[in-house]
Amino acid sequence: MEINKNIVKKISEFVLLALIIYFMKDLFNLILFTFLFSYIIYNLQKFIVNKIPVHKSIVTIFLYIIIIGLISFFICKYVPEIIKEIQIIFKEISTITFSDRWAVYVNSLIEKIDIAKSYDKFMNTILSVGKNLVQGSLNVFIALMLSMFFVLEKEKIVKFVHKFKISKISCVYNYFEYFGTNFLNSFAKVIQAQFLIALANTFLSVLFLWIMNFPQLMGLGSMIFILSFIPVAGTVISLIPLCLIAFNIGGLIKVVSVIIMIALIHCLESYILNPKLMSDKTSLPIFFIFIILIVGKHFMGVWGLLLGIPLFIFILDILDVKISDESKKVNLKL
């Protein structure tokens, strides 16, 4: 009878976890960006305060000013250049002339295309991309604000949350506190690994860009580092300005070189650095890391590459499967 109760309890926990993930799927971006900013800023603040005798609030506000300044600099500096490069590319495409032989093929191809239908698809794509960019920018802004308030008022938040420990729902609080702490600790390990991956990705990218005589390496390096925290999608986003700049300074050959560079670095990140670092941080075998990354990507998209491993470790905790004592030593102090 006791075994049946445990089975029912475990199944209920899995169902509850699945429901929480399902109902919060639309908030994944906001939640993850908030956690990323909070974790990085808090640890930077802690490091600086330990080295320099400055009040934590001053350090926190200073760090956020730097982040907002970098984002503003990127928008003011690179967005106009990207628009300018796109205009140049369209002008060059419009001046392309074909020989009589190729003109026949081009004209026959144009005649087969449904212009009205293609235009509608193109406009829908543009609107969808624009909507995603606006929503993404809004999520980043809200996440910055939430993380700033969280870091500034961490002690107050902790005291407030701990009041539930002596409330009428203390049993529920204790349950979620245990599993929530383990999940956050696991997620923190993933972020630590992702930070190292971002450093390696940025170093290799800047090195190759320097070899290819790219301008403004400092700004491009900052952009690549920040976008490296967004799995897969960050690589695609960084590829757009890099390809535009490459086309301007070296034409199609330079664009192909950039695409090959990004593909090689992405393969190195996905198949060597990511599994190895994640395995070292979580004490899971590399084989399981690969499987978790593949399954997480399939069910949760690009964020599954970050959430998959913490969720797997969370499930192991529910099943009372102990990976190793070493995995419990990391303590997330957020």
The tens digit of pLDDT for each residue in 20-79 reads 767 777 777 788 788 888 888 888 888 888 888 888 888 888 888 888 887 787 777 767
- pTM of the predicted protein model: 0.67
User: For 207-257, how does the pLDDT look when each residue is reduced to its tens digit (9 = 90+)?
Assistant: 988 888 888 787 778 778 877 777 666 777 778 778 878 887 877 888 888
User: For 300-329, how does the pLDDT look when each residue is reduced to its tens digit (9 = 90+)?
Assistant: 776 677 777 777 877 777 677 776 544 444
Q: Are 306 and 231 in contact (CB under 8 A)?
A: yes
Distance CA 293, CA 12 (A): 25
Distance CA 165, CA 48 (A): 32
